[in-house]
Amino acid sequence: MGMTVAEPASGSASAQSPVRSRRDYPGPPMHAVPGLLRKLWFDRLAMLTDAAREYGDVVKFAMGPKTLYFFNHPDHAKHVLADNAANYHKGIGLAEARRLLLGDGLLTSEDEVWKHQRRIIQPAFRRDRLAGFAGVVTDAGEALKARLSTRVGEVVDLSAEMTRLTMSVLGKSLLSADLSPLRMLGPAFEEAQDRAMFEMVSLGAVPLWLPIPRNLRFRRARGQLEDAVEVLVSGRAHSGGSDGTDLLSLLAGAYAGERDARKRWRVLRDEIVTILLAGHETTASTLSWTWYLLSQHPEAGAAMHAEAMEVLGDRTPGSEDLTRLPYTTTVIQETMRLYPPVWGLTRRSLAADEVGGYPLPADADVMISPYTLHRHPGFWPEPDEFRPERFATATAVTTHRYAYIPFGAGPRVCVGSHLGMMEATLIAAMVARDYRFELAPGARPQPEAMLSLRVRGGLPVRVCRA
Ligand code: HEM
């Protein structure tokens, strides 16, 4: 993504303090542990935001058997995610999701397995392929607008619509498949994430075989996801695939030599479930929060509408329009600053390290949070305000490159960032040309920090013509 930010740092806390002893870590006292665990389950964002406000850029959460090291300076993010990335594996949340659902897919695999997979998958996201995906995006945008046209004046759950849209784009662009018959995918992923988060917070104390409702719901959801993958893979085996260059073909081709059928199925399953999850929820979250913010800032909505009218007129946009939609682009960037779909990047240290002058033990759980970094008062003036203009010029952002990391950073940076950004921008422009949305009376959307930042309870809005 073309970022309009510049190094070096001009932030508050210096990351280069002298090495301290382990006792020096700032953080909540032991008697705060029960409250912390409650917050970890009910309000992870408040837990991090409050801690950053109270203790600064380095916080140690000692929570009984678990200790979480929270680093909130962009230099810390650079060190952990990029400069010394080789010393870190994926951490809490993702580790549970790996065990429960994602296995060794690209998001959660490590080391040589990850390198091998990234080499296989990357070509599916090449720039020349992306231009071709624009048609898939705008077809889905037209289908969405056709649905909205029958609902003018009514209340719809826009976040469900965004999930439906991004799932459809993902299916047609990367898997050459129509995922619309698989409507249970969205809810199934919700169940699966709920269980992964529960596992994280309960510190693995409730085994999966216990027949409690949460476990039963999870097992059903996981079964549905696996059935869906089977439909996709076997459908491909029969039809012979698309033109042989989409992601599903690349994966099937790469693992065709694997003689052990069970192993072959396992790697394909892990890769496809991962792409289904990583590829749709994040973009749906971006678009949902965009519509929410625009409903609260009608002047920004009007500016986006005006840009779409001027640039697109009656046309359906293409990828060449992306550079002609600068205001819409800044709205998406600012939305991802305030509501980064991936709110927490968790890591586990392999060997002992030093971060921001603090000694970090081996095998330590580390949290870097785009959510708190993006609202760090040392790097962002009026950090909680929605001001798309701050992304309009390089000089408007007087910040550090690692103070804005919606797609992560370093070797594990998002493989789908250009697709996600193109999709969000084109859909936002197409829809804003014809529609605006008013939050339904009484609705108070709140972020829900699961693996991605969802809108708790959906986004009920009244559909209005722009
Ligand atoms: C606005 C949209 C998106 C956002 C904000 C986003 C964000 C991210 C972030 C922050 C990471 C890094 C996670 C970490 O370091 O632990 C990531 C990784 C990943 N994303 Fe995205 N993503 C988006 C769209 C997509 C799309 C459209 C796809 C695929 C179709 C995708 C597939 C992946 C995969 C496979 C990884 C793992 C990459 C690796 O470890 O090599 N993402 N994403």
pLDDT, one tens digit per residue, over 344-378 is: 999 999 999 999 999 999 999 999 999 999 999 99
**pLDDT exceeding 70 applies to what percent of the chain?**
90
447 C-alpha vs ligand 1 centroid, how far in Å? Answer: 19
Using the mean position of ligand 1's atoms as its centre, give its distance from the Cα of residue 296 in Å.
28
CA of 299 to the centre of ligand 1 (A): 31
Strand ranges across the sheet with 58-63:
58-63, 66-71, 365-368, 345-349, 88-90
pLDDT value at 138 more than 90:
yes
Write out the H or E segment, with its range, that includes residue 274. Answer: helix 261-296
| Cα first-last separation, the chain | 29
With beta carbons less than 8 A apart as the criterion, state whether 343 and 369 touch.
Answer: yes
Residue whose Cα lies nearest atom 13 of ligand 1: it is 408
Bridge partners (DSSP) of residue 448 are: 454
Closest residue by Cα to atom 41, ligand 1, is 412
In the predicted structure, residue 2 carries a pLDDT above the cut 50? no
**Is pLDDT at 194 greater than 90 in this prediction?**
no
User: How confident is the model over 116-126, as a mean pLDDT?
Assistant: 90
Nearest CA to ligand 1 atom 16: 345
What pLDDT sits at residue 365? Answer: 92
Instruction: List, chain by chain if needed, residues with CB within 6 Å of any ligand 1 atom.
Output: 90, 106-107, 118, 170, 174, 274-275, 278-279, 282-283, 286, 336, 341-342, 345, 406-408, 412, 414-416, 419-420, 424
Q: For residues 271-281, give the mean pLDDT.
A: 90
Query: What pLDDT was estimated at residue 97?
Result: 85
- Atom number of ligand 1 nearest to Cα 114: 41
Residue 13 has pLDDT above 70, yes or no: no
Pairing of strands 435-439, 358-360: unpaired
Q: Would you give the distance in Å from CA 201 to the centre of its chain?
A: 20
Protein residue with least CA distance to atom 43, ligand 1? 414
Evaluate if residue 5 carries a pLDDT over 60.
no
List of residues 6+ apart from 116 with CB closer than 8 A: none
Locate the ligand 1 atom nearest the alpha carbon of residue 170 and give its number: 30
3-class SS of residue 366: strand
On the question of pLDDT at 6 being above 50, the answer is no
Cβ of 131: how many Cβ atoms within 10 Å?
A: 14
pLDDT band, residue 146 (cuts 50/70/90): very high
DSSP E strand boundaries for 279-426: 345-349, 353-355, 358-360, 365-368
Ligand 1 atom with least separation from CA of 286: 1
pLDDT at 216: 83
Can you give the pLDDT at residue 14?
43
Higher pLDDT, 449 or 181: 449
Cα–Cα distance for residue pair 389/297, rounded to 1 Å: 13
Distances in Å between the Cα of 302 and the Cα atoms of 327, 429, 437 are 11, 11, 11
Give 175 Cα–ligand 1 centroid separation in angstroms: 17
- Residue 196 CA to ligand 1 center (angstroms) comes to 18
Range from 162-176, 239-253, 343-357 that averages highest in pLDDT: 343-357
Question: For position 220, what pLDDT does the model report?
Answer: 86
pLDDT at 19: 57
Q: If you average pLDDT over residues 16-27, what whole number do you get? A: 64
pTM of the full structure = 0.91
Q: Tell me: the pLDDT tens digits for 89-103?
A: 999 888 888 888 889
Least confident of 142-151, 204-213, 244-253, 406-415: 204-213
Tell me, what's the pLDDT at 230?
A: 85
CB count within 10 Å of CB 311 equals: 17
Tell me what pLDDT residue 373 has.
97
Q: Report the nearest atom of ligand 1 relative to the CA of 121.
A: 35
Max mean pLDDT range (14-28, 187-201, 239-253, 436-450): 436-450
For residue 108, pLDDT over 90 is answered with yes
Tokens of 210: 């216990």
pLDDT for the residue 32: 81
Query: What distances in angstroms separate CA 267 from CA 196, 214, 363, 375, one per listed residue?
Result: 20, 27, 27, 38
Q: Which residue has the higher pLDDT, 247 or 199?
A: 247
Token pair 């999709």 in the structure block, residue? 423
Asked if residue 284 lies in contact with residue 165, where contact means CB atoms within 8 angstroms, the answer is yes
Exposed, middle or buried: residue 238 (CB in 10 Å: 0-12, 13-18, 19+)? exposed
- Which residue's C-alpha comes closest to atom 6 of ligand 1? 407
What residue ranges in 5-160 does DSSP mark as E strands? 58-63, 66-71, 88-90, 155-157
Phi, psi of 203 (to 5 degrees): 55, 35
Mean pLDDT, rounded, of the chain: 87
Question: What's the gap in Å between 451 CA and the centre of ligand 1?
Answer: 11
Contact of 286 with 341, CB cutoff 8 Å: yes
Model confidence at 218, in pLDDT bands (50, 70, 90)?
A: confident
| Across 209-237, average pLDDT | 81
Q: Is the peptide bond before 8 cis (omega within 30 degrees of 0)?
A: yes
